[in-house]
Amino acid sequence: MFLKLVKTDFKYHSRSFFMVVMSVLLANILMLSSKGLVLSLKESESLKIVKTFLIAIAVMFLIIAVFGTIVMITKVFNNKCVSSESYLTYSLPVKRYYHIWSNLIISTVWSVIILVLSGLSAMLWIYVWSGKDSLVNWIRDIQKMFFSDGFSTFSCIFTSICGVFSGLFLIYLCISVVNTSVLKHRPLMMGVLAYIVIFYFQNKVISEFLKFCQNYFDLDCLEHTMAVNFLISGSVCIVFGIIYYILLLHTINKKLEVD
Amino acid sequence: MKDLNVIESNNNIIEINSLTKKYRKKIALDDISIQIPKGKIVGLLGPNGSGKTTLMKVLSGVICNYQGEVFINKKEIGVETKKIVSYLPDKPYFAKWMRPVDVIKIFKDFYKDFKEDKMMSMLDSLGVDTKQKIVTMSKGMIERLQLSLVMSRDALLYVLDEPLGGVDPATRDYILDTIIKNYNPEGTVLISTHLIEDVEKVFDSVIFIKQGKIVLFEEVDEIREKYNKSVDELFREEFKCF
Amino acid sequence: MIKYEFDNDIPIYVQIMNIIKLEIVSNKIVPGQKLLSIREISEEFGVTPNTVQKSLMKLEEQGLIFTERTNGKFVTQDVELIKTTRQKIAREKIDCFIKDMKEIGYDISEIKNLI
């Protein structure tokens, strides 16, 4: 039943994310066009303006795509689990928390897809503007910094996943809490506010904890300082993620008022 | 007029003990206890705000936070009861992009008792286009679509929340006709409405609910024999506004 | 669906029972004829099948119909019973008529002259 739910939800999400993917595609087309314009015609002042304009729009579309992903994730969860569509959602014969996990998995998949597309776009743009060598150097720098060996790679991926999961749980929690009886007034504003406040608090806790670990365990001497920092941050994220999940379950089961 | 019919038998589809549901500002259901037998068409009658919709949301599993016990076919409300309960809410629950084919796919995937051919023939006779976006349909058409979805399932309990409110007389007749046609001695239909005239002949029994409490649960024939009134007349008396 | 106007103070199953009874005694349904199924009758009148079942049960108690297990319900072949029932209904209607006429002031001889 869970897989069936994921399949159904994936179809649902795909419609929203279609626009986001189109946005990335458009950004790339614009960026390539700006280069194309420069190549085929002589350099002139007016063309430079157009070129700059196109580059700016392309970057804007890429940023829109990234923000669009977050907006879509929020919107889909809101529609399915908290608005009038939830009548359909919660009368389906699956356990309630299946819906949370189904949304989580699909949102993660789409986030990764958009991240990869953005990364590929960035690489394409560097190649197109600065040449192959620049791109190779850039990739080497990234690799040295984040993926130098197994341990680094692992800690990078681990932290990313923890960050994404806890971030998504926090988004879902804010959406749900904002639709309980107490806070129904101005849900969008309250939700965004709640997210910013809690997110800021979470980051503060992580940085304080990192500082504490650095002092207490004398981490600066270690070889893989950054990787270890990542691991610690990721672990704290997990703890926060678990807290968010528990509160989210409680809200969905006990406090939600759809009307 | 406090006639609570407690039917001692193993033939009850719904058993409710001391069900209470409170919202922050009001008590929607106030210590309700009732047993509803299988194979009956039951009317749930009461004015707006009396708790009809809340009770139906509890039975369908949409509300899962309440005090008391609710059993459907001897099971607690959960995944197992949702498999045998077919719920028609009082408002549409479709996403903006959905077309009938999309919802039919969902019902086919999740409900083993969904009969697709029955659904298609119902849509055909109601003139609903399966490829048309639901948001572009008229209110009456959407209601017919929702009704078809619900009645195309071979459920043990049908929970219909105000299926007759706001529909044209032809659709109303169709709805009542469909309910009668679909009748099966193993299944129970619970219909909430505040339009009782002309509908009571479809009911085997009726429940009067007032401010979250059940004030009457009788067979329609008994009401006529006991009080020499129709259900409609009795209802008007019970719920008189001064 | 017949848009039948049912009375408000008599149980519906009694009213349906009377309708079918009338059709039997007036030979609209002949002895031995098969009745429509409960479902068909309930659809025609727009009433719950349980009500129709009650009506048919009462008619069976009175001997006017019988059930053949796999074939359905049939009108009795007992022509005598149908005749007796018809007379009984006629008697009731006449008594009712006389009572109504007396209420407007007619006496028996005046009623006889009218007819």
B170 vs C: CB within 8 A: no
Domain-wise residue ranges, chain A = 1-131, 147-259
Looking up residue C92, the CATH number of its domain turns out to be: 1.10.10.10
State the residue for tokens 């549901």: B21
C37 vs B: CB within 8 A: no
- What is the predicted pLDDT for the residue at B191? 95
C-alpha torsion A241→A243→A249→A252, nearest 10: -90
Query: Tokens for A84?
Result: 């009038």
Angstroms from A8 CA to nearest CA on chain B:
7
Q: How far apart are CA A246 and CA A228, in angstroms?
A: 27
Report DSSP state, residue B2: -
Beta-sheet pairing, B205-210 with C65-68: unpaired
**Closest by CA position to C38, among listed C29, C24, C30, C50:** C50
Interface probe with C: pick from B202, B233, B237, most Cβ of C within 10 Å: B202
- Do C12 and B177 lie within an 8 Å CB cutoff? no
Q: How far apart are CA C108 and CA B146, in angstroms?
A: 63
* Mean pLDDT along residues C8-37: 89
Give SS3 for A43.
coil
Q: How far apart are CA B68 and CA A257, in angstroms?
A: 19
Task: Nearest by CB to C9, from B41, B181, B229: name it.
Answer: B229
B228 vs C: CB within 8 A: yes
Q: How far apart are CA B145 and CA B134, in angstroms?
A: 9
- Neighbors of chain C with 3 or more C-beta pairs under 8 Å: B
Quick one: A79 exposed, middle or buried, by C-beta within 10 A (0-12, 13-18, 19+)? middle
Task: Nearest by CB to A15, from B79, B83, B97: name it.
Answer: B97
Q: What is the mean pLDDT of chain C?
A: 88
- The domain made up of B3-238 has a fold known as Rossmann fold (3.40.50)
Q: Is B68 left (phi over 0), alpha (psi -120 to 50) or beta?
A: left
- What is the predicted pLDDT for the residue at A141? 86
Work out the percent of chain B whose per-residue pLDDT is above 70: 95
- Each residue's pLDDT tens digit, A145-165: 778 788 888 888 899 899 999
Q: How far apart are CA C40 and CA B181, in angstroms?
A: 8
- What is the predicted pLDDT for the residue at B49? 86
Residue C1 belongs to some domain of the structure: no
- Indicate whether A226 pLDDT > 50: yes
C49 vs B: CB within 8 A: yes
For residue C40, the enclosing domain spans 12-114
Query: Is B147:B176 a contact under the CB 8 Å cutoff?
Result: no
> ipTM, 2 decimals?
0.87
Give SS3 for B133.
coil
- Each residue's pLDDT tens digit, A30-53: 888 777 765 555 566 677 787 788
- Indicate whether C61 pLDDT > 90: yes
Query: Tokens for B46?
Result: 């009461």
- What is the predicted pLDDT for the residue at A40? 57
CA-nearest residue to C51 within chain B is B204
* Mean pLDDT along residues A105-133: 87
Beta-sheet pairing, B85-88 with B75-76: unpaired
Q: Cα-flanking dihedrals φ and ψ of residue A223, to 5°? A: -65, -50
Give the ranges where A178-224 is alpha helix by DSSP (H). Answer: 187-217
Residue C2 belongs to some domain of the structure: no
- What is the predicted pLDDT for the residue at B1? 40
Residues in CB range of A14: below 8 A, 6 or more apart: none
- Chain A CB contacts of B89 under 8 Å are 87
Q: How far apart are CA B13 and CA B35, in angstroms?
A: 8
- What is the predicted pLDDT for the residue at A167? 92
Q: How far apart are CA A250 and CA A56, in angstroms?
A: 45
Residues of chain B with pLDDT under 50: 1-8
> Are there at least 3 beta-carbon pairs closer than 8 Å between C and A?
no
Count of CB atoms within 10 A of residue B44's CB? 27
Count of CB atoms within 10 A of residue B197's CB? 12
- What is the predicted pLDDT for the residue at A124? 86
Angstroms from A92 CA to nearest CA on chain B:
7
Chain centroid, CA A232 distance in Å: 20
- Do B60 and A91 lie within an 8 Å CB cutoff? yes
- Each residue's pLDDT tens digit, A127-148: 887 888 888 888 888 888 778 7
- Indicate whether C2 pLDDT > 70: no
Q: Cα-flanking dihedrals φ and ψ of residue B224, to 5°? A: -65, -40
> Are there at least 3 beta-carbon pairs closer than 8 Å between B and A?
yes
B201 vs C: CB within 8 A: yes
pLDDT band at A227 (very low <50, low <70, confident <90, very high): confident
Angstroms from C74 CA to nearest CA on chain B:
22
- What is the predicted pLDDT for the residue at B84? 95
- Please give the biggest Cα pair distance in chain A: 67
Residue C81 belongs to some domain of the structure: yes
- What is the predicted pLDDT for the residue at B233? 87
Q: Is B228 left (phi over 0), alpha (psi -120 to 50) or beta?
A: left
- Do A257 and B106 lie within an 8 Å CB cutoff? no
- What is the predicted pLDDT for the residue at B19? 94
Q: What is the mean pLDDT of chain A?
A: 85
B236 vs C: CB within 8 A: no
Count of the separate structural domains present in chain C: 1
Give SS3 for B234.
helix
Radius of gyration of the CA atoms of chain A, in A: 22
C42 vs B: CB within 8 A: yes
- What is the predicted pLDDT for the residue at B5? 44
- What is the predicted pLDDT for the residue at B170? 82
- What is the predicted pLDDT for the residue at B242? 55
Q: How far apart are CA A254 and CA A177, in angstroms?
A: 11
- Do A96 and B93 lie within an 8 Å CB cutoff? no
Work out the percent of chain A whose per-residue pLDDT is above 90: 27
Q: How far apart are CA A188 and CA A185, in angstroms?
A: 9
* Mean pLDDT along residues A61-88: 89
* Mean pLDDT along residues A103-119: 90
Task: Nearest by CB to B64, from A80, A94, A253: name it.
Answer: A253
- What is the predicted pLDDT for the residue at A39? 56
B232 vs C: CB within 8 A: yes
Task: Nearest by CB to C43, from B181, B221, B229: name it.
Answer: B181
pLDDT band at A220 (very low <50, low <70, confident <90, very high): low
Count chain A–chain B contacts defined by CB atoms under 8 A: 61
Count of CB atoms within 10 A of residue B27's CB? 15
- Do C1 and B173 lie within an 8 Å CB cutoff? yes
* Mean pLDDT along residues A170-177: 90
